[in-house]
Structure 1
C-alpha cells in the first residue's frame, strides 16, 4: 500500500465524476484525455484496484472507485481548506462552492465571469452537499456558493433550475399498477425529495432501487438500466441517457447564491449574474 497518493491524480478522479467522463474532465482540467487516463492508471496501480470500467461507450466507477471517490472528496476539501488558510498571501484565492446538480453547465460560466472581472484571482471549486456548503460559508472556508432549494438569510435568487427524468436507452416505465424504480442520491437531497413528491402527487407508486453518495453513482446506475432518475439539467442530455417526458412533469427548483460574511462584496453579484447567464443560454 503506498504511503502517498498523487493529489493531482485524485483531482482528476473527481473531475471524471463531476464532468461525466474522460473527455469532459480533460477539457475542464485543460489537459489531454491521455493525461486523464494516465492519472487513473496511476491510482489503480498504486492501490491495486480497478476504479473505472467500460460500460458501452462510457466509463463507470466500480464499487471500489465509488468508495474511493467519496473519501477523496473529503480529503480534497480538507486539503484545499488548509491551502486557503496557509497559502500565498500575494495570490488571492476564492473558494466557490456548488452542489453537484448542473455543475457541469453552470461552473464554466462562473469561471469565465471571474476571468473577465477578477483575472488576478485564483479560483478553487468545492462540490459538496448543500448543508456542508452552508457550514463552509458560516466558517469562512467557502467564499461564495451556488445552492439548490430553500434560501438562507443573505441568499440571492439566481433563477430556476429545470428538472427532468432520465433513463438508459430502451428503458420503459412500468405499468401504472407497478412501482417506478428510482435511482437517487442519499438523503437529505432536494432533487430526491422532489422526485418522490412529484410521483406521489401524480398517484404513481415508486420504489428506490439504488442510492449513491454522489451524482456519478446515480448516473452510472441509471446507465446500467437499474431505473430512472430525476436530474437537474439545463444543458444537453447526459451521455448514455435519454430524457423521459412520459413521466410526471416536475417543476423547476430555485437556485440561490450565498456569500460568506468575510467575502468580498464583489462576489455575490458576480456569481449571481454568471448563473443567470448560464441558465439563460
Structure 2
C-alpha cells in the first residue's frame, strides 16, 4: 500500500507499521520479513522510511542485535492503535458468510483452559465463525505464524518481551500426582516438556547448578501424555500453575529450583484474518484479563 500524500507530506502507511510491529513482536527483521512475505532488505527500507517520516531514530544497535530507542518504544503504542482501528474498520464491513476459518495455534498445555475461554469469547462476537486448532509448542507456532499458516497463536513469552497481547501472567510449579516420595529420591525422576520449554531449561539448569542428580525419563510437547505419566507415579514435573488440574499437587521440597514467571499472550499474524485482527486481539486480551481479576 503506497503512503498517502496530503499537503505534500507523507503519512505512515499501514504496511510499514505492520512491518514495524512484526519486528517488535518477533525481535528480528529476519522473522518479520518471513511473516509479511517480504525480503529483509524491503523491511529495512520500510523502517528507514518510518524514521524519515517521524524524524526520529527508532532503532539502536546493541552489539549484533537491533533494539528500539525510546522513540521507537513510543511508536509501538501508536502503531498498535492505528492497526487496531484499521482492522476494526475492515472487520465492521466484513460479513461472516464466506469468511475463511480462523486458524488458531495453541500449545497443548493451554488447550484445556485458555483455548476454550478464547473460543467462547470469539463465538460471542461471531456466532458463525469456523475455527481450526493447531496444537504445537510455542516455537513451532511462531514458525507457523511466519509461514502464514495461522491467524492467531497462544504463546508463552518472557516477561520482558513485547510480543502479542497479554492473556495471563503465570509461573512454573513443581508437581507430583500423589507420589510425594518421588521428590526426595537421590536421583530425581523428571517428566518434562520438550527442551525448548522455559520450565524444562530452568528445571535442568537449576538442578545442575545445585549438584542435584536427576534423570529426564520423558520429554514431550503433549500435556496429556505428561500428566498421564505423572499420575502413574513415573516422576515429578514442572508445569505452568494455570495448567495444574485435579490429581496434581505442588511439591513440598523447598530446595527445588525456582521456576520462571512467564506471560501467556495472543499473537496476531501480520496479515490478519478479515474478522479477527489486532483490534479483536486487544479486546480479547482485555476481556481475559478482566475475567481473571473478577
Provide the TM-score with structure 1 as the length reference.
0.59
Q: Deviations over 1:136-160 (max 9, x none)?
A: 2122221111101348775234332
Q: Secondary structure at the match of 1:136?
A: helix
Which of 265, 270, 274 is equivalent to 2:278?
Answer: 265
Alignment CA distance shift 1:200-1:276 (3 Å): farther
Q: What residue is the counterpart of 2:7 in the other structure?
A: none
Q: Is the 8 A contact 1:168 1:241 kept in 2?
A: yes
Secondary structure of the 1:211 match is strand
> In structure 2, how many angstroms separate the alpha carbons of the residues matched to 1:152 and 1:135?
18
1:128 paired residue number = 136
Of 263, 268, 280, 1:254 maps to 263
Aligned partner of 1:57 in structure 2 is none
Q: Tell me the CA shift for residue 229 of structure 1.
A: 0.3
CA distance in 2, matches of 1:194, 1:271: 30
Could you list the structure 1 runs, at least 4 aligned residues long, displaced by more than 6 angstroms after superposition: none
How much does 1:203 deviate?
5.4
1:230-249, aligned counterparts within 5 Å?
230-234=238-242, 237-247=244-254, 248=256, 249=258
* Structure 2: runs of 5 or more not aligned: 1-95
Greater Cα radius of gyration, structure 1 or 2: 2
Q: Does the aligned pair in 2 maintain the 1:106–1:275 contact within 8 Å?
A: no
**Following TM superposition, by how much is the alpha carbon of 1:266 offset from its aligned partner in structure 2, in angstroms?**
3.0
Task: Note closer, same or farther for the CA distance 1:194–1:138 as it changes in structure 2 (3 Å cut).
Answer: same
Change (3 A) 1:278 1:141: farther
RMSD, aligned α-carbons: 2.8
Unpaired runs of at least 5, structure 1: 1-87
